[in-house]
């Protein structure tokens, strides 16, 4: 059984997707309410329960982050999924990141030298500095202290029917 479970915040907003094993552990620790179950049953010698499909956390999730990890998705999030050269907002699948100072000229892959770019702008700028290409980024790249919390990436085409009512309001990312 490879069933996954959707976990919602206390306000019924999708928070994350976990394995059914993790979901059962959360249930028995009293951290969640079961909102929807699959028809399949989980059996032990002393207990039978339906496999949890959708859970709601009882308490607010408190996370303490020490800095934001550098990653492609976090760069796109910092830049609001927008090309920093032409200001076009795009899904992640249509973005790449650009070294403002190209690596061949000593530019490092770090927050302060990377911006989100669409593929046409990235090709147009090429291996040149912004001054040489005549393409200054809309905003200087920076290391963010925090980032907005993104909902889990859920493909509405393949989402289990049990989740559908809870996922319909999610923004679609590519």
* One pLDDT digit (tens) per residue for the chain, 174 residues: 568 999 998 988 888 889 999 999 999 999 999 999 999 989 989 989 999 999 999 998 766 556 788 999 899 989 999 999 999 999 888 999 999 999 999 999 999 999 999 999 999 999 999 999 999 999 999 998 887 666 666 776 777 888 888 876 665 544
| Domain 72-133 -> CATH class | mainly alpha
Tell me where in the chain the CATH 1.10.30.50 domain(s) lie.
72-133
Assess contact for 150 and 78: CB atoms under 8 A. no
> Cβ contacts of residue 118 below 8 Å, gap of 6+?
83, 85, 86, 88, 90, 94, 95, 96
Count other C-beta atoms under 10 Å from residue 33's C-beta.
Answer: 13
- Cα-only R_g, the chain: 21
pTM above 0.85, yes or no: no
Phi/psi for 65 (5° steps) reads -110, 135
């Amino acid at each position: 059984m490879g069933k996954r479970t959707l976990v919602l915040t206390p306000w019924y907003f999708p928070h994350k997707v976990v394995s059914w094993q993790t979901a059962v552990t959360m249930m028995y620790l009293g951290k969640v309410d079961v909102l929807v179950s699959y028809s399949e049953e989980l059996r032990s010698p002393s207990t039978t329960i339906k496999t949890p499909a959708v859970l709601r956390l009882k308490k607010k999730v408190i996370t303490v982050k020490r800095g934001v990890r550098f990653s492609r998705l976090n760069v796109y999030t910092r830049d609001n999924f927008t090309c920093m050269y032409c200001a076009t907002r795009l899904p992640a699948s249509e973005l790449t990141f650009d070294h403002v100072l190209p690596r061949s000229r000593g530019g490092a892959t770090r927050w302060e030298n990377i911006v989100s770019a669409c593929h046409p702008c990235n090709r147009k700028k090429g291996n040149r500095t912004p001054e040489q290409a005549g393409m200054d980024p809309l905003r200087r790249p920076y290391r963010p202290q925090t980032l907005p919390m993104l909902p889990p990436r859920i493909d509405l085409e393949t989402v289990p029917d049990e989740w559908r009512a809870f996922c319909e309001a999610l923004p679609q990312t590519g």
